[in-house]
Amino acid sequence: MDDFDRAACLGRLLDAIPASQPPSSDLVSQVKLVALSPGELQVSGHKLLIKWGAVPSPFGSCSIGWNACGICHLAFLDIPESIPCELEARWPNATFQQDDSEAARWIKRIFYEGLNADGPVNVFVRATPFQLKVWRALLRIPEGRIASYQAVACAIGSPKACRAVGTACSANPVAYLIPCHRVVHGTGDLRGYRWGDERKRDMLLQEFDRARRASGELSIVPDGPVARPVDEIFSDATVDDPVAADA
């Protein structure tokens, strides 16, 4: 990670995740997280039809899966797969149907049109109670800001559970919509993202830039790759974070 990445991240690091934000600044009003009931969890998707597709996105090829309840899978693919292994493993008893055209419409809405275009997006997950608490906390991290594992642990009332928070982030089945990419080490280190460190960097820089444009500040990513050092608005301070694993 270069000096720009570290300085930019430290300048955007939250000391604490806010309990609430204006509707446009976080994902709480844009993403509705729906968890399986204990009975549904036990059958692992028996008789469930899941449609899926593999299509381009701003951050590379991705696969997306959905059913009548909402989006249940979003991952970035470096190698094409007939059915994403992760999707099949998470829903072993489901029936799968490929629909790249509908997948392209989902990706257009998520990455280009804005999630609120047609109301909140339902995200349908299999999760432990702890994972659900972590993922719901991630939805409260505003766009253009990031949080350390420690801040997430404190937000869910388990300040000593930093490593467990990292594990929950790594188990996130719906990339981008459940924004585990907004969680970093307290030092600003981005390394360890399951879908690639460069992809995480690109996501954060786009969000930092979009947030600054919305606030009327100058862009940090004018029209291409960053070619200048970060300016004085970013802090050089560091925050202690004992977690070794990233999301």
Q: What is the Cβ-side half-sphere exposure of residue 60, based on CA atoms within 13 angstroms?
A: 16
Domain count for the chain: 2
Q: Residue 39 and residue 33: Cα distance in Å, rounded?
A: 18
Inter-residue contact 188 to 9 (CB < 8 Å)? yes
Domain that holds residue 12: 1-26+128-247
Q: Residue 178 and residue 115: Cα distance in Å, rounded?
A: 13
Close Cβ partners of 235 (under 8 Å, ≥ 6 residues apart): 7, 10, 11
180 is catalytic: yes
Inter-residue contact 141 to 13 (CB < 8 Å)? no
Q: Residue 127 and residue 142: Cα distance in Å, rounded?
A: 23
Is the pTM of the predicted complex or chain greater than 0.85?
A: no
Q: Of the candidates 76, 102, 126, which is a domain's last residue? A: 126
User: Does residue 117 share a domain with residue 164?
Assistant: no
Residue 117 pairs with which residues in a beta bridge? Answer: 119
Among 62, 154, 169, 180, the active-site one is 180
* Torsion sign across C-alpha atoms 158, 141, 11, 110: positive
pLDDT tens digits for the chain (247 residues)?
Answer: 455 466 666 667 777 787 755 444 567 778 999 887 656 655 556 678 999 999 999 999 999 999 988 999 999 988 777 788 899 998 888 899 999 999 999 999 999 887 766 778 999 998 889 999 999 999 999 988 999 999 999 999 999 999 999 999 999 999 999 999 999 988 878 888 999 999 999 999 899 888 888 777 654 443 333 322 222 222 322 333 333 344 4
Inter-residue contact 239 to 245 (CB < 8 Å)? no
Q: Residue 25 and residue 157: Cα distance in Å, rounded?
A: 23
Q: Residue 82 and residue 45: Cα distance in Å, rounded?
A: 19
User: Does residue 170 share a domain with residue 223?
Assistant: yes
User: Does residue 140 share a domain with residue 80?
Assistant: no
Q: Residue 159 and residue 175: Cα distance in Å, rounded?
A: 24
User: Does residue 170 share a domain with residue 51?
Assistant: no
CB burial class (10 A; 0-12, 13-18, 19+) of residue 228?
exposed
Residue 96 pairs with which residues in a beta bridge? Answer: 50
